């Protein structure tokens, strides 16, 4: 499992850090392998990519779910690039 960890621009933890660490610990209790990846800027990058697609006429109104989905793809791609 790949879990994105949000960080501040300077790399310091965010308010999501502790709840995510608990979530990861819960997953690991079931002997599930968990890898974390820095997810800084993925939502911003996803929003910008969707805006560009929209300007090209390929997308309608940008929904938060679309941004989240595109960001998740970016997180997975970043993980795969490390293999």
pLDDT along the chain (83 residues), means of 10: 88 89 92 89 90 73 88 93 91
Q: What is the pLDDT of residues 49-70, one digit of tens each?
A: 888 887 766 656 788 899 999 9
Structure tokens at 32: 């599930």
Residues 23, 52, single domain; the answer is no
Q: Give the phi and the psi of residue 63 in degrees, each rounded to 5.
A: -100, 155
Q: How many domains does the chain have?
A: 2
Residues 45, 71, single domain; the answer is yes
Residues 50, 61, single domain; the answer is yes
Burial of residue 5 (number of CB atoms within 10 Å: 0-12, 13-18, 19+): middle
- Contact (Cβ atoms closer than 8 angstroms) between residue 7 and residue 42: no
Give the domain range for residue 56: 41-83
Residues 53, 33, single domain; the answer is no
CA 35/CA 5 separation, integer angstroms: 10
């Amino acid at each position: 499992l790949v879990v994105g960890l949000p960080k501040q621009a300077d790399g310091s933890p965010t308010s999501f850090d502790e709840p995510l660490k608990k979530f990861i610990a819960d997953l690991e209790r079931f002997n599930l392998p968990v890898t974390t990846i820095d997810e800084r800027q993925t939502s911003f990058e996803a929003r910008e990519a969707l805006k560009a697609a929209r300007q090209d006429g390929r997308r309608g109104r940008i929904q938060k779910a679309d941004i989240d989905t595109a960001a998740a793809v970016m997180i997975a791609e970043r993980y795969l690039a490390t293999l």
